[in-house]
Structure 1
Amino acid sequence: MAAATRWSAAEQSNISQVSLTIGSVLPVSVPKEFVGLSYESAQLANPEFFSVKNKELVRLFRELAPNGNLRLGGGSSEYTTYSDEAVAGPMPFEVFGPDTSKTAKKGTVTSALALKNLRGFLDAVNWSCLYGLNLGQGTAEAAAHETAAVQRILGPRLLAFQIGNEPDSFRNRFRAASYGPADFIAEWERFHSAIVKVTPQARFAGPDISNKLPYLTAFAEIAPKYPDVVLLTSHYYAMGPASSPEATLDNLLSPYPKLTTLKRRDLHVIAEAQATAHLPYRMSEGNSCWDGGKAGVSDTFASALWCADYMLQCAARGWAGVNLHGGGNGYYTPIAGAPSTGFIRRPEYFGIKFAQRFVGTTVLGVTLTGASPLVDAFAFESSRGRELVLINKTSQDLACELGDGIAGSLVLTLTAPAIDAKEGVRLAAEHGGFDRVIKAQAYSASVFRLRKQ
C-alpha cells in the first residue's frame, strides 16, 4: 500500500481538497487525426511556405503530432483565386497571418506549384488537409476547376473540401441582408453539383460556420442526400474580438462561457446535427479570441492551459478533432515566425502537444467532487493503462483523493513560471511514487498513471 502524502501546515493552508472517482469506459475514442492546425488560404500565395524546403516548420509539425489535419480556409479564402500557372513576379509576402483578409483583399493566388509543394509538406509531416473553396466571391466553375487540381495533386492527403468560410457572416458583406440558411444551402448545392461533374470522387465537409447554428442544422438536414459529405464543421472562439475589454486572461481561464449557461444549447444543437446527418463533427477553426488574438492573453501560458482543457473537453465529447487557427505572428498562433527569421513555439503549442498524448485512447467517466469550476478532470485508457488528467487553473495547489482503492503516480506536467508567462513553458516527464492522494500544483496540467492498490 502506498504511503500517505504529507505536507507541512503552511502547505496545507494553500491546498484545495477534492475527491475523485473513475467511472466506466465510455463509447468514445480519440481519433488519430484529432490534433489540427488552421491557416489562411492566402498562405498558399507563398508556395515556399508549406514545402519540404521549410524544414523547420516540417520539424515543428512532426513534433506536435505524428498524424494531424491542416485546414486551409479562413476569411482570406473568399478573396483567393487559383491558377494552373506559377504567379510571375515577387511573392506578395513571405509569411501571411491570421485574419488578415481584413487588410489584404487581393493578390492572393494559389498556384499548382503551391499545391505540389503542399503535397510534399503533407507527406513529410504525415498530415491530411481540409481545403476551403471561395464561395463568397468565387464562381461554381472556378471552384470546380480548382477542386480538380487539388484532388489530383493532394490525392490521399485530402480529407475533404469546404465550400465557403463562415457563410453565416455573408450578410451585408458578400450577400444581401436577407441572406439566410436556405440561401446558403441553395448555393452550396449549386457549387457541389458543378464540382462533382468534374471531380466525382470529391468529398465534402461543412458548413464551416462562425456561430449561427441554424446554418449547421440546415446543412445536417441535407447531408444524408449526399454520401460524399463526410464531416460537419464549425468554428469556436472562447472570447473575442481581441479588442473587447472582456477578452482578458481571467475570462480565458473561466469555465467556457460559450460552452455553459446561455451557450449550453450550442452543444445540444451540434449533437442533434450529428444525429441528423449521421456524421462526425470537427471544430475546424478557433482559438482564444478572434482578430489574431490579444497580447498578454493569447500569447501567455494561460492560453496553453485553456487549449489543453478545451481540446480534452472536445475529445471527451467524441468530436473528430480541433483545428487551432494561426499563422504569421498573430498573438494566438501556436507556431509564430517566418522561414527567414525562424519559427518559435508559442505557449499554446505545448497545450496542443499535451492533448496529443491522448490520441488513440478511450475515454473514461470521471466525477470530481468539491473542486473549483476552474479545475477539470479527464481519464483515458490505452496500452499505457489508465491515466488521469487534472487541469488546475486556480492559484492554489490541489490535493485530490482517489477513491475505490486507486493510487496515482505523476508522469507528465505542463507548467510555466507564471500564468502570464510568454516563455519558459515546460512540458516534462515526471517520475513519482504511487499514492492514494495526488497533488496538482497551481496553474498546471498534470497526468497521473493509475493503478489499484
Structure 2
Amino acid sequence: MNRRHFLRSATVSALAAPLGRAALAASGEQPLSITISDRTGCTVPRNFTGLSYELAQLTEPNFFSAENHGLVAAFRQLSPQGVLRLGGNSSEFCWFEATPSTPAPKLHIPPGNLTSNWMPHRLFAIPPQAIDHLAGFLEATGWQVIYGVNFGNSTPERAAVEAAYAAKRLGSSLLFFQIGNEPDFYRDANNGTRPAGWDFPDYAREWLAFARAIAAAVPGARFGGPDVGASSDWMTRFANEVAPQLGESLVAVTGHYYAEGPPDDPRVTSARLLAGNPALAKNTQAVVAAADAHHLVYRMTEGNSCYRGGKPGMSNAFASSLWAGDYLLELATLGCAGVNLHGGDSRFLTASLGDHTPGRDVAKGPDKRSGGFYTPIDSEQNQPVGLMPVAYGMFLAQQFAGATMLDVSFHPETHVTAYAAHTARGYQIAIFNKDESHPVDIAITAPQAVHRATAWRLAAPALDATSGITLAGASFDLHQPWQPRHTEKLPLHDGTAHIQLPAASAALVFFA
C-alpha cells in the first residue's frame, strides 16, 4: 500500500472539520481575517514531541549514552520531556544477547530474489550495555522511551527476557513496549516476514502470545500497538478486539504516517508535500475515537515527509520545516497524543531498507554524502551532531506542549493553515503560508481583550534551502540553549493584530 494513502482504507463516516485548524487561499487585496475562538479543544501533552530510531542503533552502545553530549543537547533542545521510539524495520532482526553464550535466533529468509526485498535479512545483536547506556541517556535528556521488541524473527520467550531486562534498567523512563513493526506489511512480497494470506486474526493471536509472555515477566508492563505502516483498519480492530483481552496493560494505539514517497518518484515534490492529505484529518479522528472508546491514546510512532529515507532537496530542506510544523499541529488539534518523526544514522537507516538507498540514488552534489535525508538530528558517524531543517518545524510545534487548543475561523480553502491555543502566558497562533509565490496579509482577532501582540517568524531563503533557516531570527546552536533573536512587535488595534506573511514562511504570534 502507498503510504501516502495512510488511513484512506478505513471505512468511516464524514466527520466535522478539526477544531483549531482552518485554511484558505492567499489571494485578494483585503487582509485575511482569522478569529480565535474561546471554544476549547484538547490539551497537548507535555511529551507530544518525539523521535523514532532504528532499534539496531543499540548495536552501538555509546550512541544513546549520557556521554554523547551532542545528542543529549539536540534532544533537550527539541523538548525537555519528549518520547524516543526504538523500532523500525531493523527491530524485526534485532536480538538481545543477554550473555555471551546466548544463541542467535533463527533467521527467516523469504523465498525469491532478495534484491527486491526492503528488509535487512541479517541479524543485529543488542548487548545489555546498550540498554544500560540508554537508561543514562534518558535520564540526561528527560525523555521516555517506547521500546520495540522483535516480532518477526523471535519467540515470546526471547521477547520476555529482553523486556524484563529493559524494564529493570529503564524504570520509569519506559513509556511502553511495542511488539513488531508494520505487521500489515509482513505478507507483502517486498517484506516476506510472514506468508501470503497471513492477516489480522493471525497477527492478533501471535501478538497476544508475546504480550502475555512479557506481562508474566514484567509485572505492570504497558503496551502499544499495532504500529502499522498504513492500514488504519488494523488500528481500529486492534483497539476493539485486542484491548478487551489485554485490559489495562494496553495503553496506546499506534501507527505510522509518511506524507510522500518514494524519493525516486518524480511526482514527489515540495509543492505536493505542502498541499497536504485531505483524508488525514477525517480519518485520524476515527482512529482517535476508536482509541478513546477503550481509554487508550493514539500516537503516531513513526513517520516523516517521505518514506525510504526521505527525498533530497525536500526532506532535508526548508519545505520539511513548514510541513513538520503544520503536520504536528494538525495532529495535536485532532487529539493525537504525540508524534515521533523517524531518523538517525544513515548507516542504520540504509540497513533497515535492505541496503537500498533511493534518496541517495537521486541526490546530487553534497547530498550524495547522506542517506537519511529526513532525519531531524544529523548524527553521522565521526561527525558533529546538528539539528536539521525539519527540527525547526518540530520546535515551533513544541511551543504548544501543555497548551489547550482553540478553534479558529476563516474562509477554508488551501495554502494557509492556522492553529491557536491558550497557555498560561495568553493566546498564541501558528500560521503557515505554504504558497511558494504569494505573500498574504493577515488580521488576527483574539477572543478577549489583549494589550500586546508579538511574533516569531520561521523563514529561509527558499523552500529547497538546507541552511539559513531561522526561527525568530535565530538558528540552532547546540553549544547553548536556543533563544529568540528577534521578537517582532505587531500593530494591534481593538484586539486585532496585523501581520504580513511572506510566501513559503510561517509565524508564531503571541497575544498578552
Q: TM-score, normalised by structure 1?
A: 0.89
Q: Deviations over 1:176-197 (max 9, x none)?
A: 2111111111011111111111
Q: Which of 60, 80, 83 is 1:69 aligned to?
A: 83
Aligned to 2:420: 379
Q: Which of 190, 213, 217 is 2:209 aligned to?
A: 190
Whole-angstrom CA distance in 1 between matches of 2:54 and 2:172: 21
Deviation at 1:29, TM superposition (A): 0.5
Aligned to 1:233: 254
Q: Deviations over 1:224-245 (max 9, x none)?
A: 3321111111000101122222
Whole-angstrom CA distance in 1 between matches of 2:507 and 2:329: 13
Whole-angstrom CA distance in 2 between matches of 1:269 and 1:411: 34
Aligned to 1:213: 232
Whole-angstrom CA distance in 2 between matches of 1:368 and 1:153: 50
Amino acid at match of 1:253: L
Deviation at 1:87, TM superposition (A): 11
Bigger mean CA deviation after superposition, 356-365 or 410-419: 410-419
Task: Say which structure is richer in strand.
Answer: 1
1:86–1:376 distance in 2 versus 1, CA, 3 Å: farther
Q: Deviations over 1:298-323 (max 9, x none)?
A: 11100000000000001111211000
Aligned to 1:284: 301
1:106–1:16 distance in 2 versus 1, CA, 3 Å: farther
Q: Which of 234, 239, 263 is 1:242 aligned to?
A: 263
Deviation at 1:258, TM superposition (A): 4.8
Bigger mean CA deviation after superposition, 428-437 or 295-304: 428-437
Whole-angstrom CA distance in 1 between matches of 2:125 and 2:155: 15
Whole-angstrom CA distance in 2 between matches of 1:341 and 1:272: 44
Identical residues among aligned pairs (%): 40
Whole-angstrom CA distance in 2 between matches of 1:289 and 1:211: 14
Aligned to 2:176: 160
Aligned to 1:445: 506
Aligned to 1:121: 137
**Unaligned segments of structure 2, at least 5 residues:** 1-25, 103-116, 347-371, 473-483
1:405–1:361 distance in 2 versus 1, CA, 3 Å: closer
The question of whether the paired residues in 1 share the 8 Å contact of 2:376 and 2:388 is answered with: yes
Q: Deviations over 1:2-47 (max 9, x none)?
A: xxxxxxxxxx999673111111232410101000000000000000
Q: Alignment partner of 2:432: what SS?
A: strand
Whole-angstrom CA distance in 1 between matches of 2:28 and 2:197: 56
The question of whether the paired residues in 2 share the 8 Å contact of 1:71 and 1:130 is answered with: yes
Whole-angstrom CA distance in 2 between matches of 1:87 and 1:400: 66
Aligned to 1:432: 489
Aligned to 1:36: 50
Q: Deviations over 1:74-133 (max 9, x none)?
A: 000000100124799xxxxxxxxxxxx947432411111000000000000000000111
1:372–1:114 distance in 2 versus 1, CA, 3 Å: same
Amino acid at match of 1:336: D
Aligned to 2:358: none
Q: Deviations over 1:156-211 (max 9, x none)?
A: 10000001101111114111211111111101111111111111221101110011
The question of whether the paired residues in 1 share the 8 Å contact of 2:459 and 2:506 is answered with: yes
Q: Alignment partner of 1:422: what SS?
A: coil
1:284–1:13 distance in 2 versus 1, CA, 3 Å: closer
**How many pairs are equivalent?**
423
Asked if 1:252 is matched to 2:295, the reply is no
Bigger mean CA deviation after superposition, 223-232 or 151-160: 223-232
Q: TM-score, normalised by structure 2?
A: 0.79
**Unaligned segments of structure 1, at least 5 residues:** 1-11, 89-100
Q: Alignment partner of 1:284: what SS?
A: strand
Aligned to 1:49: 63
The question of whether the paired residues in 2 share the 8 Å contact of 1:230 and 1:279 is answered with: yes
Paired residues for 1:9-24 under 5 Å: 17-24=31-38
The question of whether the paired residues in 2 share the 8 Å contact of 1:378 and 1:388 is answered with: yes
Aligned to 1:224: 244
Q: Alignment partner of 2:171: what SS?
A: helix
Aligned to 1:359: 401
Q: Alignment partner of 2:254: what SS?
A: strand
Q: Alignment partner of 2:407: what SS?
A: strand
Deviation at 1:434, TM superposition (A): 3.5
Amino acid at match of 2:198: Y
Q: Which of 157, 160, 166 is 1:141 aligned to?
A: 157
Q: Which of 369, 384, 387 is 1:342 aligned to?
A: 384
Asked if 1:299 is matched to 2:316, the reply is yes
Q: Which of 385, 403, 421 is 2:465 aligned to?
A: 421
The question of whether the paired residues in 1 share the 8 Å contact of 2:27 and 2:440 is answered with: no
1:358–1:233 distance in 2 versus 1, CA, 3 Å: same
Bigger mean CA deviation after superposition, 337-346 or 421-430: 337-346
Q: Alignment partner of 2:410: what SS?
A: strand
The question of whether the paired residues in 2 share the 8 Å contact of 1:15 and 1:396 is answered with: no
Whole-angstrom CA distance in 1 between matches of 2:195 and 2:172: 38
The question of whether the paired residues in 1 share the 8 Å contact of 2:71 and 2:379 is answered with: no
Q: Alignment partner of 1:118: what SS?
A: helix
Aligned to 2:166: 150
Q: Deviations over 1:247-277 (max 9, x none)?
A: 21111111325526xxx4x324313322332
Aligned to 2:331: 314
Deviation at 1:433, TM superposition (A): 3.5
Bigger mean CA deviation after superposition, 216-225 or 428-437: 428-437
Deviation at 1:338, TM superposition (A): 2.7
The question of whether the paired residues in 1 share the 8 Å contact of 2:454 and 2:511 is answered with: no
Q: Alignment partner of 2:225: what SS?
A: strand
Amino acid at match of 1:259: L
Amino acid at match of 2:442: C
Whole-angstrom CA distance in 2 between matches of 1:252 and 1:237: 10
Amino acid at match of 1:131: Y
1:86–1:51 distance in 2 versus 1, CA, 3 Å: farther
Q: Deviations over 1:51-75 (max 9, x none)?
A: 0111111111111111100000000
1:15–1:51 distance in 2 versus 1, CA, 3 Å: farther
Bigger mean CA deviation after superposition, 191-200 or 249-258: 249-258
Aligned to 2:349: none
The question of whether the paired residues in 1 share the 8 Å contact of 2:288 and 2:297 is answered with: no
